[in-house]
Amino acid sequence: MPVAIHDPRPAARCPRPALRLLLALALGLALATPASAKIAVFTDGRILKVEDAYLDGDRIVLDLAEGGRLVVPAIRIDRVVADEVEEQPEPVETVACVAAWADEPLPDWVPFRASIHAAAKGANLNPWLLAALVQAESAFDPRAVSRAGAKGLTQLMPAAAADHRVEDVFDPDDNLRGGASHLRLMLDRFSSLPVALAAYNAGAATVERYDGVPPYRETRGYVRRILSAFCPGHDETPTPPPKG
C-alpha cells in the first residue's frame, strides 16, 4: 500500500521535508491515459503527428493522422507522447535540489533500492532522483511495457536501449544503468533538471523545438510529479495517498 514518506535525515543540500516516492496508483498510471492523437519523435529529430503508435515485433506501427500507416524500425523512434497541450501552461520552475550524486541511502521498502543506488552513482545522479523517475515511469515494475514499446523499470525505448548498450531491458540492473545513463545524457545536454526530464519523456527534439519544457500535458505532469517527489516544496507538496 502506498504510504507517505517523511525523511528523518537532517537537511543538507536542499530542504526535503517529505519525500513521497510511492504515489497513488492512479498518478503512477497517469501517463498511460489514451489520447486522441500522439506525437512520434524520431531519433533524427523529425516530429510526426499520428493517431496511434504501437510496437509490433522490432518495428513500430504509426497510424497517420491524415490516414494510412507507416511502419518503421523501432530504433528510429525516440519517444511517443500524447498530443494534448495545456491551454495555459504554467511555468515549470527550476528546483534547488541538486541532481548530482549524493550518498543518500533509500529506505528499505523502496524496490530495487540497491540497484537504483548503484546505477545512480555510476551516472552521477542522486539516487532519490532516479527512484522518483522509476516510480513515474513504471511504478517499479521491471516487466512494464508501454504500447509504443518502452520497457522495464526506466521505460527505455529500443533506440535508447541500443544507445546505452542495454542487453536485457527486463533485467533491473541493466535497465537502471541504461535509464540513468540516458537521464545523465539529457542533463549534460540541457543543463536543467526540468528540461532534462522533459527530454527523457518527450524526446530531445521536442524540447529543442519548444526551447524548454514542451506544452504537452503528459510531459508537464510527468516533470512535476518527479520534481515533487525528489524536491518537494518547489511547486506544491503532494498530498499523501488515501489509506485503505
Domain spanning 38-82, CATH class? mainly beta
CATH topology for 25-34+86-230?
Lysozyme (1.10.530)
What pLDDT digit, counting tens, does each position of 21-52 carry? 444 333 443 334 444 699 999 999 999 999 99
Task: Tell me which residue has cell 515485433.
Answer: 57
pLDDT at 11 over 50: no
Give mean pLDDT, residues 213-221: 94
Nearest-CA neighbor of 219 among 24, 66, 30? 30
Nearest-CA neighbor of 42 among 69, 66, 68, 75? 75
Q: What is the pLDDT of residue 126?
A: 97
Q: What is the Cα–Cα distance from 187 to 180, expressed in whole angstroms?
A: 10
What pLDDT digit, counting tens, does each position of 119-159 carry? 999 999 999 999 999 999 999 999 999 999 999 999 999 99
pLDDT at 237 over 90: no
Letter for the amino acid at 112?
F
Cell of residue 28, nine digits? 503512477
Q: Which stretches of the chain are assigned E, i.e. beta strand? A: 38-42, 47-56, 59-64, 69-73, 77-82
Q: What is the pLDDT of residue 14?
A: 44
Side-chain half-sphere of 116: how many Cα atoms within 13 Å? 25
Cross-strand partners of 70: 62
Nearest-CA neighbor of 155 among 119, 36, 140? 140
DSSP label of 151: B
Lowest mean pLDDT among 59-68, 99-108, 235-244: 235-244
pLDDT at 178 over 60: yes
Q: What is the pLDDT of residue 91?
A: 77
Mean pLDDT over each residue of the chain, to the nearest integer: 84
pLDDT at 93 over 90: no
For the question of residue 137 being annotated catalytic, the response is yes
Q: What is the pLDDT of residue 31?
A: 39
Catalytic residue from among 87, 104, 137, 167 = 137
Where exactly are the structural domains of the chain?
25-34+86-230, 38-82
